[in-house]
A and B are shown apart, each in its own frame.
Chain A
Amino acid sequence: MSSETGFDPELYKRFPTTEPRPEGELEQLEEVWCGPRRPWEWITAINNNYIGVYYVGAAMLFFVLAGVLALLMRTQLALPMTGFLAQETYNQIFTMHGTVMMFLFAVPAVEALGVLLLPQMLGARDLPFPRLSAYAFWAYLVGGLCFFASLFFGLAPNGGWYMYPPLTSMAYSPGINADFWLLGIGFIEISAIAGAIEIIVGVLKTRAPGMTLDKLPIFAWAMLIFACMIIIAFPSIILSTLLLELERALGWPFFDAAKGGDPMLWQHLFWFFGHPEVYIIFLPAAGAMSTLIPAVAQTKLVGYRLVVLAMLATGFISFGVWAHHMFTTGMPQISINYFSAASMAVSVPAGVQVFAWIATLAAGKMRFNTPGLFAVGGLVIFVMGGLTGVMVAMVPFDWQAHDSYFIVAHLHYVLIGGMVFPLFAAIYYWTPMSSSRPLSERWGKWIFWLMFVGHNVTFMPMHLTGLMGMPRRVYTYLPERGWDLPNMISTIGSFMFGLAVLLWVVDMIRNFRPFGNKDAGNVFGGPGLEWLPSGRYSLRSVPVIKSLYPVWDQPDLARDVEAGRYFLPGAPRGERETIVTSPLNAEPQYLLRMPRPSSWYVWAAIFTAGFFLILTIQAYLASVISGVLALYCILKWCWRLDRPHPQATVDIGGGVRVPTYVSGPSSHGWWAMVITLIVAGMVALMAGFSYIFLWSRRPDLWQAPPELSSLLLVIALMAAAGLLAWLSVKALALDRPRSGMIAAVLMLLASLAILGGWGVDFTAWWGTGLRPDVNSQGATVFGLLAWQGMFAGICGLMGLFALARWSFGLLSPQRPSTYQLIALFIGFSAAQGVYAAVLTYLFPGG
């Protein structure tokens, strides 16, 4: 095995160590990772054992809430033309059902599962950015609950979860309902992306030593691909929500056909996010299936590599299928054919996974416990959904089935079979890891059968109602069309499903006892690291991994880990810490100091959610105050970052010494910043697409750009900014007496150059007489400028932040991380500024 980092693999042979561990080491470890002791500390807790459980719990809460909405809808539709729900109420409820299920349940639920399970599976003490997890969770919970509450005031969005303009434009949705959706989704996007960054860096950088990529648990693979997909897909929804809110609030015509906008732009942007979203939800659940089916069958997963490849393929292909939601919009035949082919292709990797599960079940011996039942039941339902998926990928069939109840049936088969059943399997399977008691097997079987039968009774007849001509999203239907009976059957089935969920909630209340010092243990005989004995600190010591199934393949592992005979058997510096390893071979690189609980990120989350929600009800002053407070809390939190330790290296067990501080591409911070910038870059890329798309619709409305001289000036200033930022990092590295001051000043100058370049660009366009609210060119040009302006503002803040850190003596050549990250950000902003300026000046040109 060649080394990735210069780490000598021979060192692994020192483990398990044989010398006795020092007295009091375990007690110190327990003290450092202690749980909440005062009530307030339950909220400021950041250990993933707490946040993960909160997170899953909150996601399931939203599942139940959105499920109740579904039952209300089914009650309304049980009979034709009933008056159980008023039209407007129904329209709000079906919008909220979709939105809450997709944004507040499905994505957070799988993300939560990742936060809860990944550190355990990877042998890390925690994920690398625990405060970010906590921030993402609290913003999601507070924001999500307020968003849901809009339903009780009749202010919930009513334009469908896909929010097509112009129905959702100011002209046809003058209330603040649509704004609730747009801004409500805003912070959910933020928390999803924060979680994705956490998961990518966590999977790539905090694995147990020796856990090379081919020994990475399949669930971690799934979460890695999932998080990368979020990074690529979510920027599109960020952009589309921004554009629609700009159109609603300021009248910038992105979607208004009368001024050169195009409602189809929304559909492209929305589905470029929306379809990958389905696989974003499915992949982690599939990863959980691939993880727990081997435990259920007590044999290794058949075709591990094929399954990983299949998941990667799903990730790729899923970005090429978005327009299959738009076969009826009159797209050109050639595009239709392409998207039809791609949509069929995406079912192939799903087939690979399904047959890998079947082969695994055949290779071992299926044990009919609750996780096993949910896994097999989910598989059957998912295959049926996949088959109807292939049907609707056939264009002529889709012309009939599209927007009918057939699609409602299809998507529920896919999502319930592909995500909900696996999630329940996962909950039953992993509960013994978090709880001191497992869930009841007897109840579990009842719940499974009720849910399985209820699902089919609900959704099977919907195929038929759809083919009989019943459209989706109708609050009622006329009698005498033959739709009465299938609808009544669906309603009965939905209440069976509801009863199953109710029983599950009751069983959770009866048996779920998390946060204890003892868990129920490896009830189902699983093979992963998460089944080793652990405490709040996770594993006592982090083992060297030699197998994909360490608990099965490495005898005495549990005993040696418990005895502290592996890496990091204590808390050598009296701090919370975890080992950072290299992305491919997981060779130890450095020891990462983790934060202790504090309240800044909780406040930051509350004020972030407050900012968006108060903005919705148009209390601008209060909203700005909340935003400033959020910013202040985030800065307070950032102030504590980037602290080196006086000890340059530390022994992490067996005499292996690693540094305590690293900067540059090896550091977790660098990775997180790069991923953040990829998100921003994707937004800019999609904005560029929107710009060209709108031009192609109405070139006659577009005017000439400003003089090219201003373009040159913009490029020059941006280039100067990049250069200054680079020089700043170099100056700091020189380690001369005045390095710090020079670096700080250079960085401030760099941020000023970004601001200056933006100012030149803005004035030039304003000078041409172009205005954002007049036509689509104005809207997109000033949209790009607004985006770049936000970056210029952040650059300015960062420049001041750098100066402040220098003046407080927090800056030294030995701790250059903050500087490198600011330089990265400024460099990116400069590149983005050049990109936007070149695009808008030269295309389509004068």
Chain B
Amino acid sequence: MAGALALALCACVDKADLPRPMVQADPAAGLAVIEDVGCAACHKIPGVAWPEGRSGSNLAGFGARPLIAGRLPNQPDVLIRWLIDAPSMDPGTAMPPMPLTQDQARDVAAYLYTIDED
């Protein structure tokens, strides 16, 4: 992980690493969870027509981003943890812990990784 972090900080992530396929996860289920929970109240998320929240970051092209929230490496396990309890990883974040199970978070992460640059 330290290596990945270093790589990310260098901002020289190899595109070949992307997207990050995830085992035992269902992007379609992830999209349904996103809509049920209302992630889009803060984030503009490709594939979700509404809402288009602006208080969180725009998630267009998320799959190709090197970092989560501008500081954490964009890796599946990091992302899943972040979705469930962001404040534990960054106390200053506005993103509250979300009411997701581990499996749901995995599905959501899978969906987010399907979001390419375009």
Q: Interface on A for B, CB 8 Å cutoff?
A: 79-83, 478-480
10 A-B pairs with CB atoms under 8 Å apart are: A79-B49, A80-B49, A80-B50, A81-B50, A82-B49, A83-B52, A478-B50, A479-B49, A479-B50, A480-B35
Complex: chain B residue closest to A484, CB-CB: B49
In the bound complex, CA of A79 to CA of B49 (Å):
9
In the bound complex, CA of A83 to CA of B54 (Å):
14
Give the contact-size bracket for chain B. under 10
The reply on B51 being an interface residue by CB < 8 A is yes
Q: Give every chain A residue within 8 A of B49 (Cβ-Cβ).
A: 79-82, 479
The interface bits of chain B over 31-70 (1 if a CB of A lies within 8 angstroms of the residue's CB, else 0) are 0000100000000000001111000000000000000000
Q: Give every chain A residue within 8 A of B51 (Cβ-Cβ).
A: 81
* Distance to closest chain B CB from A519 (angstroms): 55
* Distance to closest chain A CB from B51 (angstroms): 7
In the bound complex, CA of A83 to CA of B35 (Å):
18
In the bound complex, CA of A734 to CA of B22 (Å):
109
In the bound complex, CA of A714 to CA of B30 (Å):
81
In the bound complex, CA of A82 to CA of B51 (Å):
10
The 9 closest A-B pairs by CB, nearest first: A81-B50, A81-B49, A479-B49, A80-B49, A479-B50, A80-B50, A79-B49, A478-B50, A82-B49
In the bound complex, CA of A479 to CA of B51 (Å):
10
Complex: chain A residue closest to B49, CB-CB: A81
Known: A81-B49, A81-B50, A82-B49. 9 other contacts (CB 8 A): A79-B49, A80-B49, A80-B50, A81-B51, A83-B52, A478-B50, A479-B49, A479-B50, A480-B35
* Distance to closest chain B CB from A90 (angstroms): 15
Complex: chain B residue closest to A477, CB-CB: B50
In the bound complex, CA of A82 to CA of B49 (Å):
7
Q: Give every chain B residue within 8 A of A480 (Cβ-Cβ).
A: 35
* Distance to closest chain B CB from A33 (angstroms): 63
In the bound complex, CA of A80 to CA of B48 (Å):
11
In the bound complex, CA of A171 to CA of B51 (Å):
30
Q: Give every chain B residue within 8 A of A83 (Cβ-Cβ).
A: 52
In the bound complex, CA of A82 to CA of B35 (Å):
16
* Distance to closest chain B CB from A176 (angstroms): 31
Q: Give every chain A residue within 8 A of B50 (Cβ-Cβ).
A: 80-81, 478-479
B69-112 residues with Cβ-Cβ distance < 8 A to A are none
In the bound complex, CA of A764 to CA of B35 (Å):
68
Q: Give every chain B residue within 8 A of A81 (Cβ-Cβ).
A: 49-51
* Distance to closest chain A CB from B60 (angstroms): 15
Q: Give every chain B residue within 8 A of A478 (Cβ-Cβ).
A: 50
Complex: chain A residue closest to B40, CB-CB: A81
Q: Give every chain B residue within 8 A of A79 (Cβ-Cβ).
A: 49
* Distance to closest chain A CB from B11 (angstroms): 33
Q: Give every chain B residue within 8 A of A479 (Cβ-Cβ).
A: 49-50
In the bound complex, CA of A82 to CA of B52 (Å):
10
In the bound complex, CA of A478 to CA of B35 (Å):
12
In the bound complex, CA of A642 to CA of B52 (Å):
69
* Distance to closest chain A CB from B38 (angstroms): 12
In the bound complex, CA of A225 to CA of B38 (Å):
58
* Distance to closest chain A CB from B43 (angstroms): 15
Q: Give every chain A residue within 8 A of B35 (Cβ-Cβ).
A: 480
In the bound complex, CA of A479 to CA of B47 (Å):
13
In the bound complex, CA of A355 to CA of B65 (Å):
70
Q: Give every chain B residue within 8 A of A82 (Cβ-Cβ).
A: 49
* Distance to closest chain B CB from A268 (angstroms): 39
In the bound complex, CA of A790 to CA of B49 (Å):
56
Complex: chain B residue closest to A83, CB-CB: B52
Complex: chain B residue closest to A476, CB-CB: B50
* Distance to closest chain B CB from A453 (angstroms): 29
In the bound complex, CA of A82 to CA of B48 (Å):
11
Q: Give every chain B residue within 8 A of A80 (Cβ-Cβ).
A: 49-50
Complex: chain B residue closest to A480, CB-CB: B35
In the bound complex, CA of A813 to CA of B49 (Å):
80
In the bound complex, CA of A98 to CA of B67 (Å):
51
* Distance to closest chain A CB from B44 (angstroms): 11
The interface bits of chain B over 1-18 (1 if a CB of A lies within 8 angstroms of the residue's CB, else 0) are 000000000000000000
* Distance to closest chain A CB from B94 (angstroms): 24
* Distance to closest chain A CB from B118 (angstroms): 19
In the bound complex, CA of A420 to CA of B75 (Å):
62
Q: Give every chain A residue within 8 A of B52 (Cβ-Cβ).
A: 83
* Distance to closest chain B CB from A87 (angstroms): 13
In the bound complex, CA of A793 to CA of B2 (Å):
91
In the bound complex, CA of A480 to CA of B51 (Å):
13
Complex: chain A residue closest to B50, CB-CB: A81
* Distance to closest chain B CB from A471 (angstroms): 18
* Distance to closest chain A CB from B99 (angstroms): 20
* Distance to closest chain A CB from B110 (angstroms): 22
In the bound complex, CA of A640 to CA of B51 (Å):
66
Q: Which residue among A81, A83, A478 has the maximum number of chain B CB atoms within 10 Å of its CB?
A: A81
* Distance to closest chain A CB from B26 (angstroms): 19
* Distance to closest chain B CB from A35 (angstroms): 58
In the bound complex, CA of A79 to CA of B50 (Å):
11
* Distance to closest chain B CB from A716 (angstroms): 71
* Distance to closest chain A CB from B32 (angstroms): 10
In the bound complex, CA of A82 to CA of B50 (Å):
8
* Distance to closest chain A CB from B91 (angstroms): 34
* Distance to closest chain A CB from B92 (angstroms): 31
In the bound complex, CA of A83 to CA of B49 (Å):
10
In the bound complex, CA of A828 to CA of B35 (Å):
69
* Distance to closest chain B CB from A106 (angstroms): 35
* Distance to closest chain A CB from B61 (angstroms): 20
* Distance to closest chain A CB from B68 (angstroms): 27
In the bound complex, CA of A698 to CA of B37 (Å):
50
* Distance to closest chain B CB from A683 (angstroms): 48
Complex: chain A residue closest to B52, CB-CB: A83
In the bound complex, CA of A478 to CA of B40 (Å):
13
Q: Which residue among B35, B50, B52 has the maximum number of chain A CB atoms within 10 Å of its CB?
A: B50
* Distance to closest chain A CB from B80 (angstroms): 26
* Distance to closest chain B CB from A86 (angstroms): 13
In the bound complex, CA of A133 to CA of B11 (Å):
76
In the bound complex, CA of A598 to CA of B49 (Å):
60
